[in-house]
């Protein structure tokens, strides 16, 4: 979306990938050794308290107070970073517009997107990425991914990281980072496209990419918070507790008892939730297949918070009738690095220190942790391997 420079691929440390989500900030950094082999350097996650997630001012203040410690005390190297802003503060839309030349194309895109924005065009930073060409009604059209960020929010986050003494090398979007992560760490067939389903708290994101080239992206309403809320209302158990009981394995008699209490309600509401999500995802897949007829779908990869819930992933995969896998970054790293447990052992002292210094609300994960939400931050760090500057334009 916006970037300064490119990086070497051998004997270098990549920038810190910073994925600023609704519920947490995820950090990841990779490096390339002298042979060009990609290896992890550090991971960390900072949960955002539920009571401030909807308050931009409080959230920014929280980031300034907590992130600085994590950068300073962690195992991260360099002060360079690549950001992805919260999806709720960015507008990303897949459009089809008639193909035009030069400035006329930019005018066509601005006209197509203006009616969908809540702010005037002169108050947003607008970018677009051309993802393909199709014929519609005998006319050649372009499939474009349009990104709009309120100029005020863009400046706020740049100011936050400048105050932390960090150099922002690029700001990009989740779909690009997600595709980069899985392409670099877990090679995909070049002739096929992969469907990435980000089952998040506030919504479900559908991204389809061929290698690290994003061809389609859409944000669907109906995140896991709605499911948790429905179960909470039916069982009179706090929404946050419902969420934790369904995300974590049983660990005590009390937890097992409560989990059995909500299981029936959860299955009932999950079925209704799943039917709605399946219908919307199906529309996206049909649109893609009609637009890119020569690009078969290879598989679906589940990422995001709800990818920890195996029952949801299994049922959704059956309904979509596609081979599926969990987007477990840790397992992919094992394939890339082979026996990398020695690196994990060396990081244990750092992990212990981070848990003490990151703050009461922070959690820190080492590379052995099975965390399904680190794909975007990993892709942001790896973004420097090949910034898509040639396909992203500033209007």
Q: Tens of pLDDT along the chain (395 residues)?
A: 555 445 555 568 899 999 988 778 888 888 887 777 788 888 788 888 888 888 888 988 898 888 887 777 667 888 899 998 887 788 888 888 889 888 888 888 998 898 888 889 999 988 888 888 888 888 888 888 898 989 998 898 888 888 888 898 888 888 888 888 888 877 666 778 999 998 876 778 899 999 888 899 988 877 777 777 777 777 777 777 776 666 655 444 445 666 666 677 677 777 777 788 889 999 999 999 988 888 999 889 888 767 777 777 888 888 888 888 877 665 555 544 444 344 334 333 333 333 343 344 333 333 333 334 678 888 898 876 765 543 333 33
Domain presence at residue 205: no
Place of tokens 């690095």: 337
Which tokens hold the place of 98?
A: 């008639």
- List all residues 6 or more positions away from 371 whose beta carbon is below 8 Å from its beta carbon: 43, 45, 329, 330, 365
Could you give the CA distance from residue 273 to residue 222 in angstroms, rounded to a whole number? 8
b/e code 203-216 from CB counts within 10 Å (16+ = b): bbbbbbbbbbbbbb
3-state secondary structure of 271: helix
Of 320, 346, 381, the one marking the end of a domain is: 320
Asked whether residue 8 falls in the same domain as residue 149, the answer is yes
The pLDDT of residue 251 = 46
| Confidence (pLDDT) at 207 | 93
The Cβ of residue 257 has, within 10 Å, a number of other Cβ atoms equal to 10
As a dihedral over the C-alpha atoms of residue 298, residue 299, residue 300, residue 303, rounded to 10 degrees, the angle is -100
**Same structural domain for residues 27 and 175?**
yes
- With tokens 């840790």, the residue in question is 330
Structure confidence at residue 370 (pLDDT): 35
Domain boundary among the residues 320, 344, 372 is at 320
- Residue that finishes a domain, picked among 300, 320, 340: 320
Q: 361 CB contacts (<8 Å, ≥6 apart)?
A: 46, 47, 49, 66
Locus of tokens 């052992």: 345
What distance in Å separates the CA atoms of residue 300 and residue 327, rounded to the nearest whole number?
Answer: 9
The Cα 350–Cα 150 span in angstroms is 37
C-alpha 95 chain-centroid distance = 21
- In this prediction the pTM is 0.76
Pairing of strands 139-150, 124-136: antiparallel
What's the burial of 356, exposed, middle or buried (CB within 10 Å: 0-12/13-18/19+)?
A: exposed
Cβ count within 10 A of residue 4:
11
Assigned domain for 199 exists:
no
- CA neighbor of 376 nearest in space, from 202, 175, 221, 225: 175
Q: How far apart are CA 358 and CA 25, in angstroms?
A: 13
pLDDT at 245: 66
Q: 171, exposed or middle or buried, with CB in 10 Å at 0-12, 13-18, 19+?
A: buried
Q: What is the dihedral of CA 366, 371, 374, 375, to 10 degrees?
A: 130
For the beta sheet containing 124-136, the strands, ordered from the edge strand earlier in sequence to the opposite edge, are 91-98, 139-150, 124-136, 392-394
Q: Are residues 63 and 107 in the same domain?
A: yes
Question: 11 and 91 share a domain?
Answer: yes
Q: Where are the alpha helices (DSSP H) in 137-216?
A: 151-163, 174-185
Q: Are residues 121 and 257 in the same domain?
A: no
* One domain, residues 350 and 303: no
145 and 245 inside one domain:
no
| Residue 284 structural domain | 221-320
On whether residue 197 sits in a domain, the answer given is: no
Please report the pLDDT score of residue 331 as a whole number. Answer: 57
Domain annotation covers residue 240: yes
Assess if residue 301 is contained within a domain. yes
344 with 367: CB under 8 angstroms? yes
């Amino acid at each position: 979306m916006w970037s300064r420079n490119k990086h070497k691929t051998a004997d270098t440390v990549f920038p810190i990938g910073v994925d600023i989500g609704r519920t947490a900030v995820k950090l990841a950094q990779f490096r390339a050794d002298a042979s060009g082999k990609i290896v992890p350097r550090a991971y960390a996650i900072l949960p955002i308290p539920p009571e401030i997630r909807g308050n931009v001012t409080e959230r920014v203040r929280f980031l300034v107070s907590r992130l600085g410690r994590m950068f300073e005390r962690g195992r991260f190297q360099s002060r360079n970073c690549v950001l992805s802003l919260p999806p709720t503060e960015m507008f990303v839309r897949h459009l089809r517009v008639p193909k035009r030349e030069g400035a006329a194309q930019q005018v066509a895109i601005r006209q197509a997107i203006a009616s969908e924005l809540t702010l005037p065009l002169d108050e947003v930073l607008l970018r677009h990425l051309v993802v393909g060409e199709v014929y519609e009604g005998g006319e050649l059209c372009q499939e474009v991914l349009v990104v709009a960020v309120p100029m005020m929010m863009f400046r706020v986050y740049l100011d936050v990281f400048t105050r932390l003494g960090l150099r922002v090398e690029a700001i990009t979007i989740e779909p690009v980072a997600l595709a980069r992560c899985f392409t670099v760490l877990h090679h995909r067939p070049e002739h096929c496209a992969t469907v990435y389903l980000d089952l998040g708290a506030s919504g479900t994101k559908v991204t389809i990419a061929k290698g690290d080239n994003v061809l389609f992206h859409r944000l669907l309403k109906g995140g896991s918070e709605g499911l948790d809320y429905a179960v909470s209302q039916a069982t009179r158990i706090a929404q946050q507790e419902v969420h934790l009981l369904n995300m974590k394995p049983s660990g005590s008699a009390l937890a097992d008892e409560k989990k059995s209490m909500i299981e029936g309600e959860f299955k009932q509401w999950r079925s209704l939730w799943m039917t709605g999500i399946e219908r919307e995802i199906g529309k996206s897949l049909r649109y893609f297949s009609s637009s890119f007829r020569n690009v078969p779908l290879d598989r679906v990869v589940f990422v995001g918070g709800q990818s920890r819930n195996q029952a949801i992933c299994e049922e959704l995969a059956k309904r979509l009738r596609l081979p599926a896998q969990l987007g477990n970054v840790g397992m992919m790293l094992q394939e890339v690095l082979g026996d990398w447990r020695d690196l994990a052992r060396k990081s244990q002292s750092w992990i212990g220190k981070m848990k003490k210094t990151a703050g009461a609300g922070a959690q820190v994960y080492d590379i052995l942790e099975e965390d399904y939400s680190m794909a975007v931050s990993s892709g942001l760090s790896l973004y420097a391997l090949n910034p898509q500057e040639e396909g992203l334009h500033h209007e």
